[in-house]
Amino acid sequence: MRGTTMLDLGLRNELIVLDAIRHAPAGTSQSEVVHRSGLSRQAVSLITRRLRAQGLIEAHGTLAGSRGKPRTILRLVPSSRLAVGVHLDPAGISLAVVDLLAAVIAQRTLAPPTAVPASDVARIADALTSVQADLRAQGWTTPDGHDAAEAMLGIGVASPGAIDVARGRVVSPPWLPGWRDVPVVEQLGQATGLPVVLDKNTNAALTAETWSVAQPPGDTVLYLYVGAGVGSAVSTGGRVHHGAAAQAGEIGHLPTGLDGPLCGCGRRACLSQFTDAASMLDAAERQGLLGTADGRSMTARLGDLAAAARGGEAGAVELLDGFGTALGEALRTLIGVHDPHRVVIGGPSWPSLAPLALPLVEQRALRSSPHAVTIESSLIGDGVGALGAAALFLQRELSPTGR
């Protein structure tokens, strides 16, 4: 599956120039790139020439200046290269192929991970081969005539923690009992012939939010990921904070200050007791609010619970109120710790829960904030895991802060 048009951007200056052009979707001039990058005009001229030769950027008209000759407008060619994202989630394995701006070209949804990771890796590789064949049959090519397989740079994998980013291993992810100390980077790389990177699903989701939008250098974004559980991620100036062991953002045992049962960790009323999807669904089943699963995914069943709450079912309303209140209390703590400019909440379970939960989250989280903090729902939707995984690879390969 290995492509023949892999990038060779070994020089940091090339990545700086490419980054400056990427963050100007309508195009930018060489003079503006010089100003943004801090590089010399000669260096920028040489680099843009190389990037144009590789098909990564193109000239797109001219811009008349106040004096002198018109300036050539440079812009990224998003379809010149592709990246693949794979999201390992208890509800299913999702795969997305994206362009350089993380716009989805193709996607697949596979059955949930099993207790045999090697077979799951083989399924992912087969699905990627199928996607490549479909794109070839559709006549998809890069502007310079390469097919999808040739244009693919590599694969990003997003997984629930705990993971070992440095060794490329899924160590002990919650809700994926068969995946213990799995060298997924090595295995998927061998199966596909492509380079692979691994990170947490929360970090992937935040990377998806920030990849195509220029972030002011000092701006801090706090992301809450709502899936089978709740996690968080933080970035400053578009760069995600990983922590010493890449485990930053594990907030399931964050105290909420609410009345609640004793948690297995020894503390009372931890966040996970109110927000874990499995616990919410089990409680709903015990109260007769939901029928049996019948093969429906966890995300779909949370949607059923939210629909019951909207219909006035008292038990469902109570569960959603507990979720929103606990999440808001935890977010209040996180806002105090990270002092973000804005908060984004997303993940596969959030779209169905947001209409009822968001007002409670805002009410609880903002009541003691020292300054105005924007809390908003992600616009990416439930595909953020795979999209973010692909953005992870793009971040590592094409951003000057990613290496």
Assigned CATH class of 80-209+386-398:
alpha beta
User: What was the pLDDT predicted at 5?
Assistant: 42
Q: Which residues contact 124 (CB under 8 A, 6 or more apart)?
A: 86, 93, 95, 110, 188, 191
What is the model's pLDDT at position 183? 97
Residue type, 362: E
Contact 173, 88 (CB under 8 A): yes
How far is the C-alpha of 95 from the C-alpha of 129, rounded, in Å? 12
**What is the pLDDT at residue 68?**
59
The closest of 195, 95, 192, 185 to 154, measured between CA atoms, is: 195
Topology of domain 12-76, per CATH?
Answer: Arc Repressor Mutant, subunit A (1.10.10)
Number of neighbouring beta carbons within 10 Å of residue 214: 16
CA distance 222 to 234: 5
DSSP 164-181: ETTTTEE---TT-TT-SS
Residues in the chain: 403
**Site of tokens 């594990």:** 250
Question: Tell me, what amino acid is at 391?
Answer: A
In what order do the strands lie in the sheet containing 230-236?
Answer: 239-240, 230-236, 220-226, 342-346, 374-377
The pLDDT of residue 268 is 84
> Whose structure tokens read 């310079």?
144
* Fold match between domain 12-76 and domain 80-209+386-398: no
Angle at the Cα of 106 from the Cα atoms of 103 and 107, rounded to 5 degrees: 105
Q: What pLDDT tens digit does each residue of the chain (403 aa) get?
A: 444 444 555 578 899 999 899 888 788 999 999 998 889 999 999 999 999 999 999 988 776 554 656 678 999 999 999 999 999 988 889 999 999 999 999 999 999 999 999 999 999 999 999 999 999 999 999 998 999 999 999 999 999 878 898 899 999 887 788 899 999 999 999 999 999 999 999 999 999 988 866 666 678 999 999 988 899 999 887 778 776 555 566 788 898 988 888 887 878 889 999 999 988 999 999 999 987 777 788 888 999 999 999 999 999 999 999 999 999 999 999 999 999 989 999 998 999 999 999 999 999 999 876 667 889 999 887 788 999 999 999 998 888 876 5
Q: What values do phi and psi take at 288, rounded to 5? A: 75, 20
Q: In the chain, how many H helices and how many E strands? A: 13, 15
Rounded Cα gap, residues 149 and 136, in angstroms: 9
* Helix/strand/coil for 48: helix
Taking the C-alpha atoms of residue 281 and residue 48, their distance in angstroms, rounded to an integer, is 54
Q: Which fold has domain 215-379?
A: Nucleotidyltransferase; domain 5 (3.30.420)
**What pLDDT is stored for residue 244 in this prediction?**
55
Give CA–CA dist 15/17, Å, rounded.
Answer: 5
Q: Where is 58: in which H helix or E strand?
A: strand 57-63
Domain ranges of the chain: 12-76, 80-209+386-398, 215-379
Q: What is the pLDDT of residue 3?
A: 44
